Amino acid sequence: MIKFVARFLLHRIGIAIVNQYINDQLKIMSAKKVSKIAVLTSGGDSPGMNAAIRAVVRTSIYHGLQVFGVSRGYNGMIDDDIFEMYSRSVGNIIQRGGTILKTARSAQFFETEGRKIAYENLKKRGIDGIVVIGGDGSFKGAQKFSNEFDIPCIGIPGTIDKDIAGSDFTIGFDTAVNTAVEAIDKIRDTADAHDRLFVVEVMGRDAGYIALHSGIATGAENILIPETKTDMEAMIASLTEKEKRKKLVNLIVVAEGDEFGGGTEVGNYIKEKLPNADVRVCILGHIQRGGSPSCLDRLIASRMGYHAVECLINGTHNVMVGIEDNKMKYTPLDNAVKAKQKISEEWMRIVKILAS
């Protein structure tokens, strides 16, 4: 009796597995088939974009798809600056910063007429899938374009700001932070030599992740970011107390988008309130965008590029590919656009305790 029940259960389980397999295959077959893919980089450049381009191109070719590069983001799509890419097209680029496809911000693409022109340029080549490497503005354009013309789009988060929900890291963030840390370490050396207070401005118009991570990593006494209210009086009180106990070397890291202002505004305020302090301001600027991508940025860019093509093939469309807890996560483009990463209270508490 036991053997009969066991055989019966195995038989039913086998049928269930087969039915599930058939259903999965039907879903794949019913999904919009993609045969030609366009890849572009849009918005601000970030180290690792080339690694993502390389992964998209070679994964597409592996699956027997044609792949086209679009120069200068959506501007190139409108201007018909589109060309076929091959495996050799992306040789020797994984270690390079910037983007071989160039990038731009396109006001024209946000006009209906501009998108129509872009669609016609894709249509005449038979392009039926798009991979967009960029930030939230780029994803907004991709989402709107896909809704209007029924072309599936996949987003890859390429931005040094790490300000897009759905991924623990964005391509370029790790490299930008390491660039900032290296620069701030050098600034601290000269600050120590002269007993100076340095205000260092890093990039981050709307997000303070570069300031937060680089500030903690370099032992900054204060970190000013857009996500939290800036209490300048409390900062001055803290610096005054440190001045009394002869702690003259202080480092303040401020994101360019802090509510009080950037490095210059913060530095001027400190000079006014603490006339005896030897205050210097250093703005790191676009140095944070350039340079050879770190190992982490190359790895996540390669992984995201591979999965972007797999999504188009398997019928998972209009999502951003991200990585959370070392696992792939697929966030609808609309959600990736609207949502923002949030800085936890734990990080802010760590800053307060370690800077005391």
Active site residues: 161
Strand 250-255 to 222-224 pairing: parallel
Contact residues for 345 (Cβ-Cβ < 8 A; gap 6+): none
* Distance of alpha carbon 274 from the chain centroid: 38
Cβ distance 119 to 79 under 8 Å? no
- Other CB atoms within 10 A of residue 341 CB: 17
**Backbone dihedral region for residue 172 (phi beyond 0: left; psi -120 to 50: alpha; all else: beta):** left
Q: What is the DSSP string of 237-286?
A: HHHHHHHHTT---EEEEEETT-TT-SHHHHHHHHHHH-TTS-EEEEE-GG
CB atoms within 10 A of CB 112: 9
Residue 137 CA to residue 129 CA, distance in Å, equals 19
Query: What are 278's two structure tokens?
Result: 């030897």
Residue 128 near residue 32, CB atoms below 8 Å: yes
CA dihedral 167, 172, 175, 179 (to 10 degrees): -120
Pairing of strands 153-157, 319-324: parallel
First to last CA, the chain: 74
H-state helical runs in 315-344:
333-338
Task: Tell me if residue 214 falls in helix, strand or coil.
Answer: helix
The amino acid present at 204, given as its one-letter code, is: G
Find out whether 181 and 214 touch, Cβ atoms under 8 Å.
yes
Which of these, 103, 116, 46, lies nearest to 69 by C-alpha position? 103
